[in-house]
Amino acid sequence: MSYQAPLRDMRFVLHELFDVSGHCQQLDNGLDRDTIDGVLEEAARFAAEVVAPLNRNSDEQGCRLQDGEVTTPDGFRQAYKQFVEQGWASMTGPLEFGGQGFPQMLSASFHEMLMSASLSFRVYSGLTEGTVLALDRHGSAELKQRYLAQLVSGEWTGTMCLTEPQAGSDLALLRTRAQPQVDGSYQLSGSKIFISGGEQDLSDNIIHLVLARLPDAPPGIKGISLFLVPKRLLDADGSPAARNALSCGALEHKMGIKGASTCVMNFDGATGWLVGQPNQGLACMFTMMNDARFQVGLQGLGIAEAAFQGGLAYARERLQSRAIKGPVALDKPADPIIVHPDVRRMLLIQKTLSEGCRMLAAYAARQLDLEHGASDPAAREAAARRAAFLIPVVKAFFTDCGQEVASLGVQLYGGHGFIREWGMEQLMRDSRITQLYEGTNGIQALDLIRRKLLGDGGSELNALIDELATQVHQATAQPEMAERVGQRLEEWRALGHSVLQACRHDPEEIGAVSVDFLAYSAYVMLAALWLQAAVRASQALAAGSGDAAFYQAKLQSADFYLRRVLPRAGAHREALLAGAGCLMAMPERSFAF
């Protein structure tokens, strides 16, 4: 299955909906439209020609562990070398350490391309970018000087070591220990599981960020510290030298992303250094975690786009039966299956979810950029609040969409989708992990309710609804669509108030309503964005600005989404208003007999 980046749609989102050039001017990063388009074109070429051809074999071959060393699938080392040499690894890194400082609004498009081309390949560099973020914001000047430039360039890679066999989402149960040494370093002992890229043959060194407890640490999450632990210790001139006391004990046997090494890492008195303040490791790690959750959301989007492209190509080529109204391809023994209404239904769900998520990704990326790059402190704070609200939605909803769209891809192929030859079943297996790691989607939903909605009493939710409602009032080019979206926005506001009241009255409601409220919120946000897309398409058609078929398809896609996908929000609303009682009433013993 081939992949081509959806450049026309990416340009529409970046330039026509969100004015990425104006955004770059606001950030004062020197990027103009021509430069942005040039980057997108080169990124599309790299993803399609270098990375995508690796995907099938990486699934077939997987990673191999022998004598403590991991070998990645054939072609990964060469592709990663090109990734570094062409500057893609340093795309988002800080300028002072050799990075290019590109905004998330632009880099997210490239990262989506990589996710579509080969999710396994992208895993390695994605975690390195998170390591750079955490070290840049929380590391000492000495640690930055010794490690950041090589991480930014991609010469070295990074990992995030949180999970232990007994401590998954509940990090309060973490047991790895860090013993202070007289020279200011620490010796770390313990085991971590599910460590992506924990051992591999792509880079000269691997820099692990490890959560551990100091001897005098208080219990629970308040007693967790963060440490930098390199695979190889550095000599006097900063080059990797002696092997640290850590090792890969095993590779996990997984459902998908088999080209990404997922390791059990053993730390046997490994030398490390404190990042940030003692017992503040979780706050430091969340710098990395928030980026990782956004990136995992992009993984869901990338999978969805790849599945849509595969499904569309097959639907145009596969001949089966005749159209209900009568033959279409008179020169062929049957019509292509794209003529059938149910096939159109599946394709349009794939298309509108993928393109809708792409719009929301760009909106969220803009908040991440402004959180750190806006000149006005108040604007930075507002963007930080908005980003914090959006991240759990992006992570959970995009990855749920990725699984749904991949499943529809299998369905479109029929029996051929169930076998390995066509690649659809790989996309479905690869996408499944995205709903689990960096916090399961249920955890994301709890975060949205507990930390965001209850945390500020609904003020950020209402601020977001106010912003979207203003755009609805301005959508005079599409009055019918605007009315439908406006009604949903006010329903969302009322629903948020009801959820707040219920959760304050009964804490079990937090868990009972969370998943449905997140899904409801996402469907309504996508509706508001599809309305904006429809307005822009209407304006372009009225102005005769060319590419009429593209803009007409946008209008028709928006109409489909509002009529056939948005109604899902009503089902989520009805379900969450049913309350926690029906979930918790049944005694545990009654689940099975």
Q: Annotated catalytic sites, by residue?
A: 438
Bridge-based pairing of strands 225-230 and 262-275 is antiparallel
What is the spatial distance between Cα 424 and Cα 53, in angstroms, rounded to a whole number? 15
What is the spatial distance between Cα 291 and Cα 196, in angstroms, rounded to a whole number? 15
The DSSP annotation for 264-284 comes to: EEEEEEEEEEEESSTT-HHHH
Q: Count H helices and E strands in the chain, helices first.
A: 20, 11
Contact between 278 and 214 under an 8 Å Cβ cutoff? The reply is yes
What is the spatial distance between Cα 586 and Cα 34, in angstroms, rounded to a whole number? 61
Burial-class residue 256 by CB neighbours within 10 Å (0-12, 13-18, 19+). Answer: buried
The 10 Å Cβ neighbour count of residue 30 is 9
Contact between 236 and 185 under an 8 Å Cβ cutoff? The reply is no
* Those residues with Cβ within 8 angstroms of residue 211's Cβ, 6 or more apart along the chain or in another chain: 161, 162, 171, 174, 176, 224, 225, 226, 227, 281, 282, 285
Contact between 503 and 513 under an 8 Å Cβ cutoff? The reply is yes
The two three-digit tokens of residue 443, written as one number: 């955890």
Contact between 465 and 487 under an 8 Å Cβ cutoff? The reply is no
The two three-digit tokens of residue 575, written as one number: 């379900």
Assign 88 to helix, strand or coil.
Answer: coil
Phi, psi of 262 (to 5 degrees): -110, 110
The packing angle between helices 119-138 and 424-432, to 10°, is 30
Instruction: Characterize 113-122 residue by residue with b for buried, 16 or more Cβ atoms within 10 angstroms of its Cβ, and e for exposed.
Output: bbbbbbbbbb
> Could you give the count of Cα atoms lying within 13 Å of 394 in the half-sphere of its Cβ?
30
Burial-class residue 344 by CB neighbours within 10 Å (0-12, 13-18, 19+). Answer: middle
Query: Nearest-CA neighbor of 442 among 401, 397, 494, 490?
Result: 397
What is the spatial distance between Cα 84 and Cα 223, in angstroms, rounded to a whole number? 37
Length of the chain in terms of residues written: 593
What is the spatial distance between Cα 464 and Cα 568, in angstroms, rounded to a whole number? 21
Q: What is the largest CA-CA distance in the chain?
A: 84
The two three-digit tokens of residue 436, written as one number: 């689990």
What is the spatial distance between Cα 44 and Cα 183, in angstroms, rounded to a whole number? 48
- Rounded to 5°, angle at Cα 15 from 24 and 358: 100
* Residue owning tokens 């029929």: 414
Bridge-based pairing of strands 186-196 and 262-275 is antiparallel
